[in-house]
Structure 1
Amino acid sequence: MSGPVGLPVIDTMIGFPHEGSAQYDFIRRQTKDRESKEDFDFPVEYMFKDVPKELPTDDPVSLVLQQMDRFNIERAMIGVSEEYATRALKTFPDRFVASGAILDPNDVMGSVNAIRRDYEEYGIRATSVFPAGTFPQVAIDDPKMYPIYATCVELGLPIFVCAGIPGPRVPFAPQEVSRIDVVMFDFPDLVFVTRHGCEPWEDLAVKLMLKWPNLYYSTSAFAPKYYPKAIVDYANSRGADKVLYAGYFPMGLSLERIFSELPNVPLKEEVWPKFLYGNAARILGLAD
């Protein structure tokens, strides 16, 4: 058996299907172009083909579990702010991993308190933030983020952060990959995992991962055929322990598409178990 076939998977970015598109209102309130405000159900619809739509919503948790079983996803990380997260976490604690989300880092103490509350109530294993999607925008290295990073270090939580040009039509400056450098300098114990590609600075992301031991890269929002070559090359060399799998179902990609393309990614045989499972298990504290 070669490549990813038959290997267990931890998906570090999965969600539940929803009716309508109200979950993207936080993007629409800051976009200015007509398509984003009026035409797109999904804010980055112009970038993705075959976005999963019209999925049944009568039992979203069961639907996601069926998809997970189909593609050997043993565990999936979900945001506790998701509508169905509480039921999923309570009913299937062995399949779902709780993650927080920093919705408005402009509210510094509110964000810190939310992390602590989610940690105590849900046992979150991580939190996340979308810098370009905050309103007003808060950059990766903004002083408002520092108490949030400090809280993550104190609680031993990794933070998953979107980095690189965002898909929604909002300014990219808050997510410039160079901003990560000073954060890792100031918080050497912070486990920082990038989301959504780091493009067009993927080469810089590799350099920074070589430099900072606790900086990682996840493949969320990218179909495997578009994984950056610099990232694949890094995973095959010195970065086997630094790159981890993340999907984007049902937001923009079907698991069928992802797992049909994965075998064509030229990762070395010994890298696949780490990429699909081991690195996430270690970062999230799920390793045996």
Structure 2
Amino acid sequence: MPGPTDLPVIDTLIGFPTEGSAQYDFIRRQTKDAASKASHMPAEYMFTDVPTASPTSDPVSITLHEMDRFGVEKGMVHVNGEVAARAVTDHPDRFLPAGVVSDPNDVMGTVRALRQQYEEHGIRATTVFPAGTFPQVAIDAPQMYPVYATCVELGIPIFVCAGVPGPRVPYEVQEVGRIDRVMFDFPDLVFVTRHGCEPWEELAVKLMLKWSNLYYSTSAFAPKYYPKAIVDYANSRGADKVIYAGYFPAGMSLERIFRDLPSVPFRDEVWPKFLHGNAARVLGLDG
């Protein structure tokens, strides 16, 4: 059986290096501590060796180069900017477009934007960072229900940050228990968690056992920090439910991730599903 560094990879969270820190202004506007206001990235205290960009470099070429180095066949990117839109247009075989729910407080504007992203870019999924919305909108808030309904109608999954967020903002909106009501009300919704679900990773496992369309992705975690409950679940009943996601360039280099991956104690039969098969199925690439 090939090892994890020998298998094709679909990365369900990758991006492009950018100069400056304007992309994090949406978080800074709701933080109150001085460190967050002054930092390049409001959660940088959690990461080391964050990749940086050169002003003369082409960000798409940089990401493609890193993908080629580490066998990343396809990467899912958020098409909420010119660089990502260009990448999915110029390299449709490498980049998978995903939408972004930036302000669910604007309910109908969000639904219209989601449909527009689907029509213009053919998005394979959308994503939301509940703790990063402003005012914050909880996973199970009424404002999110039209988004979930639209995802079901379009046949696309939604990737949702869950658990205590890295930026110094309140966490209640991302409590993992909130997912239960959403899955009950939307049995056809494909829901993928992002950013760890900590400290409720064991609850996340219980909910994945309960709900067939609930998945977990490993974004923003170095492989050596994958929660034990998630690794154990993937090695038992959850081999089809745990999906690889990186965090390049927001928090980690692919070099760091793929250097650590072989130390994750997944069973041999889990690796192809974790790195490729589960994402291909959830994103509709396997048919």
Could you tell me the TM-score, scaled by structure 1's length? 0.98
Letter in 1 for 2:129: F
Structure 1 residue 3 displacement after superposition: 2.5
Which residue in 1 is equivalent to 2:189? 190
The alignment partner of 1:127 has SS state of strand
Structure 1 residue 96 displacement after superposition: 0.4
Any unmatched runs of 5+ in structure 2? none
Q: Is the 8 A contact 2:80 2:99 kept in 1?
A: yes
- Whole-Å separation in 1 of the counterparts to 2:133 and 2:56: 28
Query: Mean alpha-carbon deviation: is it higher for 239-248 or for 82-91?
Result: 82-91
Which residue in 1 is equivalent to 2:267? 268
Any unmatched runs of 5+ in structure 1? none
- Whole-Å separation in 2 of the counterparts to 1:53 and 1:100: 24
Equivalent residues in 2 for 1:172-251 (5 A)? 172-251=171-250
Which residue in 2 is equivalent to 1:6? 6
Equivalent residues in 2 for 1:1-288 (5 A)? 2-38=2-38, 40-55=39-54, 58-288=57-287
The alignment partner of 1:153 has SS state of helix
The alignment partner of 2:75 has SS state of strand
Task: Output one character per residue of 1:169-228: Cα deviation in whole Å (capped at 9) or x when no partner.
Answer: 000000000000000000000000000000000000000000000000000000000000
- Whole-Å separation in 2 of the counterparts to 1:249 and 1:147: 30
Q: Is the 8 A contact 1:74 1:95 kept in 2?
A: yes
- Whole-Å separation in 2 of the counterparts to 1:5 and 1:71: 7
- Whole-Å separation in 2 of the counterparts to 1:54 and 1:66: 14
The alignment partner of 2:5 has SS state of coil
The alignment partner of 2:42 has SS state of coil
The alignment partner of 2:249 has SS state of coil
Q: Is the 8 A contact 1:80 1:98 kept in 2?
A: yes
Structure 1 runs, 4 residues or longer, greater than 4 Å off: none
- Whole-Å separation in 2 of the counterparts to 1:252 and 1:263: 20
Letter in 2 for 1:79: H
Letter in 1 for 2:3: G
Q: Is the 8 A contact 1:245 1:275 kept in 2?
A: yes
- Whole-Å separation in 1 of the counterparts to 2:105 and 2:189: 20
Structure 1 residue 57 displacement after superposition: 5.2
Letter in 2 for 1:10: I
Structure 1 residue 58 displacement after superposition: 2.5
- Whole-Å separation in 2 of the counterparts to 1:162 and 1:241: 20
Q: Is the 8 A contact 1:44 1:168 kept in 2?
A: yes
Q: Is the 8 A contact 1:196 1:219 kept in 2?
A: yes
Structure 1 residue 6 displacement after superposition: 1.0
Q: Is the 8 A contact 1:19 1:57 kept in 2?
A: no
- Whole-Å separation in 1 of the counterparts to 2:266 and 2:278: 15
Q: Is the 8 A contact 2:18 2:53 kept in 1?
A: no
Structure 1 residue 56 displacement after superposition: 5.5
- Whole-Å separation in 1 of the counterparts to 2:222 and 2:14: 14
Q: Tell me the percent identity.
A: 75
Q: Is the 8 A contact 2:139 2:174 kept in 1?
A: yes
Letter in 2 for 1:13: L
Structure 1 residue 83 displacement after superposition: 3.1
Letter in 1 for 2:209: L
Q: Is the 8 A contact 2:208 2:214 kept in 1?
A: yes
